[in-house]
Amino acid sequence: MITVYVPRDSSALGLGAERVANAIQVEAAKRGAAINLVRNGSRGLYWLEPMVEVATPAGRVAYGPVQPGDVPGLFDAGFLEGKAHPLCQGPTEEIPYLKNQERLTFARVGITDPVSLDDYLAHEGYRGLRNALGLEPAAIVEEVTTSGLRGRGGAAFPTGIKWKTVLNTPAKHQSAGQPIGTRNAPEGGSAKDALPEKYIVCNADEGDSGTFSDRMIMEGDPFVLIEGMTIAGLAVGATQGYIYLRVEYPHADVALNQAIAAALEAGYLGDDILGSGKRFHVEVRLGAGAYVCGEETALMESIEGKRGMVRFKPPLPAIEGLFGQPTVVNNVISLASVPIILDKGGKYYADYGMGRSRGTLPLQLAGNVKRPGLIEKAFGMTLRELLYDYGGGSASGRPIRAVQVGGPLGSYMPESQFDTPLDYEAFSAIWAVLGHGGVVVFDDTVDMAKMARYAMEFCAIESCGKCTPCRIGSTRGVEVIDRIIDDQDRAKNLALLRDLGDTMLAGSLCALGGMTPYPVLSALNHFPEDFGEKSVAQVA
């Protein structure tokens, strides 16, 4: 029986993976070849998707990009034995794009069947949880602190410190004398009626353009996220977890729920985790298309069934979060990085990286780039290496002119900044944002005044409306940029745009209003010619 892998990742499906899988089944049946078809996650080499792999005695061999029409030819060429074919990429692990990565969080993605608990266990899964079950909560928190892990959602706050605050904050209405994390159902009530005292909330509202690492983890290795949340629950004494998932990710919803059911069935989740007496449950909650709900306090409002409006801080969510209780809110990648830290130790993780940016960051290369995909590397590589060594330059073959890093609220960076190392501090030193590690590439046909206008328009569409600078400033911002593009009182309107930027930066509660000036003003600062081109042309 030969094992063949065809991804079930939604980007691979979007390029025809389902039809390729069907064609392989049909062709194998026709030829009487016994195959075991596994639907794995994506390795993240999206320019090769749909990428089909075959397990051979010498390891897995990759073929891609495969279209249904290629399948008979692949069988003729003997791809089931890993033989040569124009689409053959050789041994998967030897493809330079993959070979030169440092995959810690993504160690299993693309390798295993995402919803097979057996596969997960066979590939070092749940070793972190087993270690955590033998530790005191404070010792788990200590291990995460040692790892140097910072929130991978963008704000880069140290995860260990956040967890420590939640651990040390007693929940309200907690029954006296019962140790945190082991509370059972109140007398006379079922376990289902018991109010959990603290919460772990996973922010899976990945709404930034150019980011897809959360989606890849949830579709490609959902157990690692569930394990990370369970460890977080043990660490701070929380018994209920919510994954707040954006509605735009239906495939992730399916994979997560399949994995949760399997973990529950096997005792890795539930009222008595692996016989330890510790309890933890996870539920997926769907968002409804509001970008601002990726902000942690708006997200909690949304889970509570309200409009996703930002809350004032303090109180911090760690002290008074979901349903008024101490709550850990972490991004998908932050939580998915926890199992390996508890498995191999905080120091092992901290040994990767540079400066205060420890461990690895899954970088996501998108937009106008020849080899788009996911690259997990230790912090410290330069943007230029990422764009050219991995990305191979632009897809159009034209020069790369601008790169937006860190999502729609990140700065646009010109060529002169491409040697910046991928490190939180190095980016903030040049008024840029590394954030979630999403990188969107634009060639020289981009109009930066138009991109600045779009950033303001996006803020106007997605503002929750609580703060005036964000709600009204963004609408006025679109109008000001329109006047600049139309060359009406250009100097005056440029000054007004900078002034508006300052107001939004200083006067907004959350990053949506507070960071929209990053793309707008960076576009203006680095590409001034796009804001005055028309008048130059008219003069000439």
Partner 1 sequence: MTQTEWDRDAVTEVIEQKKSMPGALLPILHGIQDRIGFIPEDAVPQIAKALNLSRAEVHGVISFYHYFRTTPPGKRTIHLCRAESCQAMESEALEAHIKARLGIGYHETTADGAFSLEPVYCLGNCACSPSMMIDHEVHGRVTPQSFDAIINELKEIAA
Structure tokens at 97: 């794009």
Three-state SS letters, 304-321: CCCCCCCCCCCCCCCCCC
Binding of residue 365 to partner 1 (CB under 8 A): yes
Find all residues with CB under 8 Å of 173, minimum gap 6, and list them.
195, 197
- Distance separating alpha carbons of residues 199 and 180, to the nearest angstrom: 12
- Please write down the HEC assignment for all residues of 334-396: HHHCHHHHHHHCHHHHHCCEECCEECEEEEEEEECCCCCEEEEEECCCEHHHHHHHHCCCCCC
Residue 27 · residue 72 · CB < 8 Å: yes
Cα 41 off chain centre by: 15
Rounded to 10 degrees, the C-alpha dihedral 510/516/521/522 comes to: 100
- SS3 label, residue 3: strand
Strand, coil or helix: what is 37? strand
Shortest separation between residue 537's beta carbon and partner 1, angstroms: 22
Tokens 């840029």 locate to 432
Can you give the length of the chain in residues?
540
Distance CA(22)–CA(26), nearest Å, equals 6
- Closest approach of Cβ 303 to partner 1, in Å? 5
* Interface map 442-481 toward partner 1 (x if CB under 8 A): xx--x----x--x---x--xx-x-----------------
**By the rule CB under 8 A, 388 interacts with partner 1:** no
111 residue type, one letter: I
Site track 494-513 with partner 1 (rule: CB under 8 A), x = hit: --------------------
| Contacts with 471 (C-beta within 8 Å, 6 or more apart), sequence order | 463, 465, 513
Q: Which residues, 25 to 44, sit near partner 1 by CB under 8 A?
A: 44
Q: Which is nearer to partner 1, 144 or 363 (CB)?
A: 363
The CB-of-245 to partner 1 minimum distance in angstroms stands at: 11
What is the closest distance, in whole angstroms, from the C-beta atom of residue 36 to partner 1 in the complex?
A: 26
The CB-of-403 to partner 1 minimum distance in angstroms stands at 10
Number of residues that bind partner 1 (CB under 8 A): 61
Helix (H/G/I), strand (E/B), else coil: 284? strand
User: With CB under 8 A as the contact rule, which of the stretches 274-282, 302-310, 336-344, 418-426 interacts with partner 1?
Assistant: 302-310
Q: Does 14 bind partner 1 (CB under 8 A)?
A: yes
Determine the interface stretch with partner 1 among 90-98, 180-188, 242-250, 381-389 (rule: CB under 8 A): 242-250
374 binds partner 1 (CB under 8 A): yes
Q: Give the whole-angstrom CA distance, residue 102 versus residue 120.
A: 19
Q: What is the 8-class DSSP label of residue 169? A: S
The answer to the question of residue 10 lying near partner 1 (CB under 8 A) is: yes
Any bridge partners for residue 378, and if so which?
A: 360
Rg of the chain (C-alpha set):
24
Instruction: Report how far residue 285's alpha carbon sits from residue 298's, in angstroms, rounded to the nearest whole number.
Output: 14
For 366, the token pair is 């998108």
* Distance, CA of 401 to CA of 494 (rounded, Å): 22
Nearest approach, Cβ of 214 to partner 1 (angstroms)? 8
Of 434, 291, 443, nearest to 363 by C-alpha is: 434
> Which region, judged by CB under 8 A, interacts with partner 1, from 8-16, 117-125, 329-337, 349-357?
8-16
Given the complex with partner 1, which of 251 and 490 has the nearer CB atom?
Answer: 251
Q: Which residue in 54, 171, 290, 338 binds partner 1 (CB under 8 A)?
A: 290
* Distance (Å, whole) CA 220 – CA 307: 31
- Beta pairing partners, 361: 377
- Binding mask of the shown chain, residues 391 to 420, with x at each position contacting partner 1 by CB under 8 A: ----x--------x---x------------
198-227: contacts with partner 1 (CB under 8 A): 206-212, 214-215
Contact mark string toward partner 1, 53..72, x via CB under 8 A: --------------------
Residue 362 is a binding residue for partner 1 (CB under 8 A): no
Stretch of residues binding partner 1 (CB under 8 A), selected from 28-36, 229-237, 245-253, 470-478? 245-253
Q: Does 95 bind partner 1 (CB under 8 A)?
A: no
**159-188: contacts with partner 1 (CB under 8 A):** none
CB of 368 to partner 1, least distance (A): 4
Contact letters (x/-) for partner 1, 322-341, by CB under 8 A? -x------------------
Nearer to partner 1, 75 or 412 (CB): 412
Judged by beta carbon, residue 80 or residue 329, the one nearer partner 1 is: 329
DSSP, res 186? P
Q: Does 383 bind partner 1 (CB under 8 A)?
A: no
| Residues contributing to the site for partner 1 (CB under 8 A) | 10-11, 13-15, 44, 46-47, 49, 206-212, 214-215, 247-251, 285-291, 302-308, 323, 364-368, 372-374, 395, 404, 408, 438, 440-443, 446, 451, 454, 458, 461-462, 464
